[in-house]
Amino acid sequence: MTATATVELGWYPDPHVPGMLRYFDGGRWTQHTLAATTPTPDVQLPTQGSISAAYFWATSGIAPA
């Protein structure tokens, strides 16, 4: 039995250029590169029912949805 590895298309770390991503089109590596960014932490916005939410919405300048 032979095992076939499949790699999904997408952006992957470029092993030759630290800090860069390279696009794999499902069959080959392309010339397209992109600077890798650090992941942004998930931000938990307060809900409208909490006291901290009232302060947040009043001081943020953002209209609640």
Where does residue 26 fall: left (phi above 0), alpha (psi -120 to 50 degrees), or beta otherwise?
Answer: left
Residue 65 inside a domain? The answer is no
Residue 13 inside a domain? The answer is yes
Dist CA 14 CA 29 (whole Å): 10
Residue 42 inside a domain? The answer is no
Residue 57 inside a domain? The answer is no
Residue 19 inside a domain? The answer is yes
Residue 25 inside a domain? The answer is yes
What range does the domain containing 24 cover?
7-36
Q: How confident is the prediction along the chain (65 residues), in pLDDT tens digits per residue?
A: 555 556 788 889 888 888 889 999 888 889 999 998 866 566 565 565 655 666 666 776 666 65
Q: In what order do the strands lie in the sheet with 20-24?
A: 10-13, 20-24, 29-35
Dist CA 6 CA 26 (whole Å): 8
Looking at the chain, the whole-number percentage of residues with pLDDT higher than 90 is 9
Q: What is the number of structural domains in the chain?
A: 1
Residue 12 inside a domain? The answer is yes
Residue 28 inside a domain? The answer is yes
